[in-house]
């Protein structure tokens, strides 16, 4: 109650003929009412304020989720990319075909950068590792070449053979510098009296490709102590006639190599085509001779 109200009330009581004990009782009652009123206001302030703050906080959080966080989540969930999955188990070194893999859409994640996303990245490549049904194909799991030791054995075409021949000295392997992929000319020095021991060029082996070089029983060109080891065996890409000649040289002659081409793919192919033409010309000449012989037989 206000001070004016208390003053007017006391003036009214004093104007009446009221005992002092009753006046004192009235004053005490008024004091109690004032105290209780103040306590009620304090209690209302104590309970209402925290609830209001909690309500405001909940509203703010809800607005943030609806207008801030939810659009971000929706955007992340909506970003999808195509990846290549394995349909059936593939072993390392196997050629991958369209029957082995398929393209599916998945969520875009940071690790998805390494995934193969199109069939063109996978088809007609080789599996670098074993892959199982349901695996995602990554760029490190495929290889354009056979990822196995001596891959040329898996790439031989019809009519092509891989045949090895010994080299007996450092000089015969071009000072140990022959490398896989080189195009070389093969010279032969026969061990018997034929040719008086002179080295001769073998026309059928004028241009042949080296598939691999071997040191002892490995393809490493270093000894255990780090020094360079000597090449002992060279493996060539050959046709059946070249393979027969090389086998004969292995048994009856010493082989000496001369490097013709290294590093220039176009030139190497021209040399190898020239060697094929040698055999084609020989085949034509043989066919013409056989035809002429047949005509002579008919005339007789």
- Residue 123: partners with Cβ closer than 8 Å, 6 or more residues away: 96, 97, 98, 101
Residues 54 and 161 in one domain: no
3-state secondary structure of 251: helix
3-state secondary structure of 147: coil
**Per-residue pLDDT averaged across 127-144, rounded?**
90
CATH of the domain at 138: 3.90.1210.10
Would residue 224 count as lying in a domain? Answer: yes
* pLDDT exceeds cutoff 60 at 6: no
Higher pLDDT, 111 or 273: 273
Rounded Cα gap, residues 54 and 32, in angstroms: 34
Would residue 46 count as lying in a domain? Answer: yes
Would residue 24 count as lying in a domain? Answer: yes
**Which residues constitute the domain of residue 119?**
80-143
Residues 162 and 277 in one domain: yes
- Angle (CA) 93 95 96, round 5°: 120
What pLDDT is stored for residue 204 in this prediction? 94
Higher pLDDT, 259 or 61: 259
What pLDDT is stored for residue 177 in this prediction? 83
Contact between 266 and 206 (Cβ < 8 Å): no
Cα dihedral across residues 102, 103, 107, 112: positive or negative: positive
Would residue 300 count as lying in a domain? Answer: no
Residues 180 and 238 in one domain: yes
Residues 32 and 115 in one domain: no
End residue of a domain, out of 89, 114, 143: 143
Domains of the chain: total: 3
Please, which pLDDT band fits residue 207 given cuts at 50, 70 and 90? very high
Residues 120 and 199 in one domain: no
Over pLDDT 70: what percentage of the chain?
69
Annotate 83-145 with DSSP letters as a single string: EEEESS-B-TTPBP-TTTEEEEEEE--GGGGGB--SGGGTTT-EESS-B-TTPBPBGGGEESS
Residues 68 and 115 in one domain: no
Would residue 159 count as lying in a domain? Answer: yes
Contact between 142 and 133 (Cβ < 8 Å): no
Q: Which residues pair with 209 in a beta bridge?
A: 183, 237
Would residue 138 count as lying in a domain? Answer: yes
Q: Could you give phi then psi for residue 7, rounded to 5 degrees?
A: -65, -45
For 84-131, write each residue's pLDDT tens digit.
999 999 988 888 998 999 998 877 666 667 888 889 999 989 898 899
Residues 181 and 66 in one domain: no
Would residue 280 count as lying in a domain? Answer: yes
Residues 138 and 158 in one domain: no
């Amino acid at each position: 109650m206000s001070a004016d109200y208390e003053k007017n009330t006391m003036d009214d009581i004093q104007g009446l003929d009221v005992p002092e004990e009753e006046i004192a009782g009235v004053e005490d009652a008024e004091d109690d009412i004032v105290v209780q009123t103040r306590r009620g206001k304090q209690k209302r302030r104590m309970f209402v304020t925290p609830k209001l703050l909690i309500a405001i906080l909940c509203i703010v959080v809800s607005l943030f989720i609806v207008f801030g966080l939810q659009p971000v989540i929706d955007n992340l969930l909506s970003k999808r990319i195509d990846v290549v999955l394995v349909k059936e188990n593939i072993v390392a070194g196997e050629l991958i075909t369209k029957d082995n893999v398929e393209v599916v859409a998945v969520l875009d994640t940071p690790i998805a950068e390494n995934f193969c996303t199109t069939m063109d990245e996978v088809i007609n490549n080789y599996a670098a590792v074993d892959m199982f049904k349901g695996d995602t194909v990554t760029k490190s799991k495929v290889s354009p070449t056979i990822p196995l030791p001596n891959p040329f054995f898996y790439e031989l075409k019809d009519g092509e053979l891989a045949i090895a021949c010994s080299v007996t000295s450092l000089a015969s392997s071009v000072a140990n510098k022959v490398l896989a992929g080189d195009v070389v000319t093969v010279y032969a020095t026969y061990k018997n009296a034929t040719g008086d021991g002179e080295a001769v060029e073998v026309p059928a082996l004028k241009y042949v490709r080296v598939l691999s070089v071997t040191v002892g029983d490995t393809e490493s060109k270093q000894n255990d102590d780090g020094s360079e080891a000597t090449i002992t065996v060279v493996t060539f890409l050959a046709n059946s006639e070249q393979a027969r000649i090389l086998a004969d040289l292995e048994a009856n002659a010493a082989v000496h190599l001369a490097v013709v081409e290294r590093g220039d793919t176009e030139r190497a192919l021209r040399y190898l085509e020239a060697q094929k033409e040698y055999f084609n010309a020989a085949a034509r000449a043989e066919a013409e001779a056989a035809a002429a012989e047949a005509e002579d037989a008919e005339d007789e």
